[in-house]
Structure formats: C-alpha cells, structure tokens
Amino acid sequence: MIPIAKPLLGPEEAEAASRAVLSGWVSQGPEVATFEAEFARYVGADFACAVSNCTTGLHLALLGVGVRPGDEVITVSHSFIAGANAIRQCGAMPVFVDIETDGYNIDPTAVELAITPRTRAILVVHQMGMPCNMPAILRVARNAGIPVVEDAACAAGSEIRLGDTWRRIGHPLGDVVCFSFHPRKVITTGEGGMLTTNRADLDAAFRLLRQHGMSVSDTARHSSPQVVFEDYPVRGFNYRMTDIQAAIGRVQLTRLPGIVARRRTLATRYGEKLALVRGITAPNEPRWARSNWQSYCVRLAEGIDQKALMQAMLDRGVATRRGIMNMHQEAAHGDLPTVKLPRSVSARDTAILLPLYAQMTDADQDRVLSVLDSSLAAVRRRRTTRPLGLVDTP
C-alpha cells in the first residue's frame, strides 16, 4: 500500500526524545526554549512561541490581535475546520469567503467585499503549503486597519517572493503566523505548533496565556536561587509543548530543507507526467511562490466520479484523499448565515490529493501514476457501460 503521507523519522529523533526523558525535565523547559530560538532563526522571525498544536496557536493568535465576543473574522471556508472552531472559541463569528479561480487560497477581492464595522481580523490560510497572495491581502488589511493572522499549518519550508527577495513563510508579513507539527505535516513533533511574530507584545501575551496566565514560568521559578511566588493576572490555558516534543522538533527542523527539496522534485515530476493524463489538471505554482507541497492536489475533469476514482485507486493499493473540506458545509457551523461559495464547493468535490512524502521513490510515484491511469479507465468504463437488463424503449 502506498500511503497518502508518511512522516520522516529516524534514530536521531529517538535519541533526542531519549535525551529529554533522561534529563528529568519532560514538560515545557529548555528544549522548548531552544526549539523556539532555532525555529525563529530558520523562518526569519523575531519571536517564536511553541504551543501544544496549531489549533491552540490559532486561538492564542486571534486573542492576541484583539478578537473578542461579537467580533467578525474574515476567513476562507476551504480549509480544515480548526480555523472556524478557533474563531468561535473566541466568541467571534467567522465570515466565510471564496477561493481564487486558479487555486485553492483565499480570494483577496472577496476579503475586501466582506469587511464590515465588526471585522476584527483576517485569517488567511497558506493552503496545502502554497503561499497565498499576501501582498494583495495586506493592501486590503492595511487600508482597513485590520490585523492579519496567517494559518501556515501546512507551510513550514514554503517561501514567497516580495520584490526581488524570497522570504520563508513564518517571517511575519501579517501580525502572527501559526504552524502545525501534526504527523500529516512536512515536519512533526507528534502534535505541536508554533507561533511566530515580530511584535514583542504579542509574543509576551502568547507566553502568558499558554501557561495558565502564570506571571513566572515554572522553568524560571525552579532555576531561581530565591523563593519566587507566581501570580495569575489573567485567565489562561494549558497550551504548552513538552520538552520531548521539542527535542524531536529540533531534529526535524534540521531535516526540513532536504525534505522540502525532495518534495519539490516529486511535485515537478508529477506535473510533467500528469500533463499526459487525460482528465487530470495538475496544480499551479505562481512564479512568486515556492511551495513545500505538503499536499499534491489535482482536479478531475467533469464527469469523473471522485469517490469512485478514489475507491478504485485504494483497491489497487494507493491511498488518496478528497479535496480540502469546506467549513460552511459542515453541521458544526450550520447555524451560521448561508453563503454561496461555488469555487470552494467545486474544489472539494472535484479534487483529490495524491500521495507525496519525502521517502517516496521514483518507482513509488510511477506506481501511483500507473494506478491513477488504470483507475481512470475503469471509472470511465463503468460510467459508459449500460447496466444489464436495460433495453431501449420506443
């Protein structure tokens, strides 16, 4: 079976986890602090704050930029449900907008049209690792004086070109950037997340809120030569990353450039070979973007049954996933005002994700392509063959 994804983990990660365990400090501690510093340097941010996962990171980011009950946050529906969940956890309401016509990222024009006096933030998503059009988003946001949160859950290692300069996603263009280290992502700590920002006030707020609102961290208290009593000036959360996770994350970060390079090679190879496959449209990478290709999403021609194709491929030993979900189509947010987002709906229902991971060999990829081709043929035959027993009637 060829899986849709596979984390790249080895003896080095096991040794790093063992080091943290044997140190006697396994909760948030020195490994977390070092991971934060190394991650900030890698992306080019002034600050990085580790958290338990990207969903908690989104929650803290939205709180940090001022989202409160009764506010509105403009975001794309075509993304994982955590985005809307985090908005509503703040007591605010998501305002869903559609994706661009030529990709899977938020439409800046739709964002501008959705702004109201209640808009408190714009939450954009670098979907499947592909950078969204940040210059256009930032023009809209700055004209309206609205902060921008970047959901970069899938985008570790991706880059965007601004003028003549390439910047890694995580070098904040908006106010704060949120990453995920779930095993489905390019690098993993099992679970885990990271917030990057260039604003000292936001970083301080994240660090306070992630640890119960505690005025003095436990690491500072335990290392102090004098007795320290902490207090709790605000209500916070337990959104901490463990030192075991951070130790693994530090090794994963060293692997990231090589992982991204391999994924980009595989994506290029997919694109070249899929150009010869009838009924499949490969994804487009803008000239100003360098995706880490966290997922490789192809569109199906009209008339190709998405689920039937996926099942045919699974039966032949290749896993796929359907197009990215839409939050406005889920019952969890069915109480929100009805919206029409035709491009998002079409993308979910006419796209599939093909396997892509750093350990994938050319032979593995060729097998995926062969199975895709034979499965397309089988689905087409099924569609054009009349069921037995039917006869023409005059």
Active site residues: 185
> What is the DSSP code (8-state) at residue 249?
H
d(CA 285, CA 311): 28
DSSP 8-class letter at 263: H
Cα separation, 291 vs 293, whole angstroms: 5
- Residues 239 and 59: their CA atoms lie apart, in Å, by 10
Angle between helix 362-384 and 243-274 (nearest 10): 60
Report the alpha-carbon distance of residue 271 to residue 191 in Å, rounded: 31
Residue position matching structure tokens 């039937």: 308
User: How far, in Å, CA of 345 to CA of 368, rounded?
Assistant: 26
> Which class for 175: exposed (0-12), middle (13-18), buried (19 or more C-beta within 10 A)?
buried
**b/e per residue 318-345 (b: at least 16 CB within 10 A):** bbbbebbbbbbbeeebeebeeeebebbb
Give the residue among 154, 153, 194, 184 at the shortest CA–CA distance from 32.
194
The three state secondary structure string of 321-361 is EECCCCHHHCHHHCCCCCCCCHHHHHHHHCEEEECCCCCCC
66 Rama class: left (phi>0) / alpha (psi -120 to 50) / beta: left
Q: Which two tokens stand for residue 154?
A: 């899938």
State how far the Cα of 143 lies from the Cα of 13, in Å rounded to an integer.
46
23 burial level (CB within 10 Å; 0-12, 13-18, 19+) = middle
E strand spans, the chain: 47-51, 72-76, 93-97, 119-125, 148-151, 159-162, 165-168, 176-180, 193-197, 280-281, 289-290, 296-300, 321-322, 351-354
